[in-house]
Amino acid sequence: MQHQKSGFRFFVYVVAAWLITHIFVLRFGLDGNARVLFRDFIQGQAHVPYAYRALVPALLGFISAITPDFIKEEAVSFGSHFLNLPFPIKSNHPYECLLFFGLCMGCYIGFLYALRDLIRLFYGEGQEPLPPVVAELAPLGALALLPVFFRYFNYLYDPATLFLFTTALRLLLRQQPRYYALFILACINKETAILLIPLFALWHFRRIPFVSLLLHLTAQTAIFLVIKFAINTRFAHNPGEPYENLFYIHTVALFTRLDFYYLLAFLTALLLFWYVAYESREHKPLFLRRALPLVFLPQFALGLVIGFVDELRGYYEAYPILFLLALPTLYKWSSAKPVIEQEPSDAR
């Protein structure tokens, strides 16, 4: 029976990931920003700072390089006809596009499993009265909300960002050594992986000896700096600037020249998300309550200056934490029977 449940869960996750991948790739596309086209990523010619997100392009390029040409042709033919994927035929890199479609699906499936385990960790091991079915269905709800993040542009490192950060957070909380492998991959994928370091400190403070914690934090900081230096050196001659000052171009325009109703909707949604996350806050896990500002506020502050502050895809790292905080409130609102509130455990 357990194997049947696991098999059915995997089938549902695959179907859900397939649908969201179709929306991400085929509906919104990857070439919205003319400076960072898909082919530019694959050829290593994307503008910086986008070129610094090197993991996915390197992985696609490596797999393509070791794959015989006849396998590439068969795979593209299979993808375009049997799987009805039109985009590989129209691209200069059809096989890499097909690989990315599979990688995107894999990232979304991995995100579902990681979020499921995080829900069980915080709300399914006796501390909170959420039924087990919540851990099975809630990740699908989190995945279904992702198209909201697809405003403006999408980049091929986005699904990996969501998957790697969520999975690294899961391994961090489970205190598994594999965390370091995910941390390294997350650093290669996007520099926002540095936000895992304060989360590591927050979780392990008073759980491990202070000297040991200090060594861990020093090691992670060194890993991040070495990877960052190596990537910056590799793409030092690419066009663009390491940081784009978009404060006047976008942020000021957002509050002065854009549609008033859009701005009102954006600010209202921001306040609503924060309210849902911290409603009955004293009964929600202490770690999550402290972790969300550690991740969200730096991203929001940087978004005001060097990004699009209203571009939700810039908050993928905060999304799993926000969702976990909001889950008891969403369940309480959707349940005919209110949640029985309990005092939080000191361990969390």
Phi, psi of 57 (to 5 degrees): -60, -40
Q: What pLDDT shows up at residue 107?
A: 97
Q: Is the pTM of this model over 0.85?
A: yes
SS3 content of the chain, % helix, strand, coil (to 5): 70, 0, 25
Q: What pLDDT shows up at residue 306?
A: 76
SS3 207: coil
Find out whether 16 and 115 touch, Cβ atoms under 8 Å. Answer: no
Q: Which residue has the higher pLDDT, 143 or 251?
A: 143
Contacts for 243 with CB less than 8 Å, ≥ 6 apart: 49, 306
Q: Distances in Å between the alpha carbon of 31 and those of 82, 117, 147, 260?
A: 24, 34, 17, 29
pLDDT band at residue 344 using 50, 70 and 90 as cut-offs: very low
CA distance 35 to 123: 44
Residue 314 has what DSSP assignment? Answer: G
Find out whether 121 and 174 touch, Cβ atoms under 8 Å. Answer: yes
Closest C-alpha to 137, from 159, 158, 112? 112
One-letter amino acid for residue 152 of the chain: Y
Closest C-alpha to 118, from 285, 334, 341? 285
Task: Work out the average pLDDT over 253-261.
Answer: 68
CA distance 309 to 264: 14
Q: What is the pLDDT of residues 304-330, one digit of tens each?
A: 887 777 778 889 999 999 999 999 888
In the predicted structure, residue 204 carries a pLDDT above the cut 90: yes
Q: Which residue has the tokens 């391994």?
A: 171
Q: Which of 60-69, 71-80, 163-172, 262-271 has the lowest mean pLDDT?
A: 262-271
Q: What pLDDT shows up at residue 127?
A: 52
Task: Work out the average pLDDT over 89-104.
Answer: 81
> How does the average pLDDT of the chain come out, rounded?
85
CA distance 217 to 273: 31
Task: Work out the average pLDDT over 58-81.
Answer: 88
Helix (H) or strand (E) holding 36: none
Task: Work out the average pLDDT over 104-124.
Answer: 94
Q: What pLDDT shows up at residue 310?
A: 75
| Angle 174-58-179 from CA coordinates, rounded to 5° | 10
Q: Which residue has the higher pLDDT, 153 or 58?
A: 58
Buried b (16+ CB within 10 A) or exposed e, 250-284: bbeebeeeeeeeeeeeeeeeeeebeebbbbeeeeb
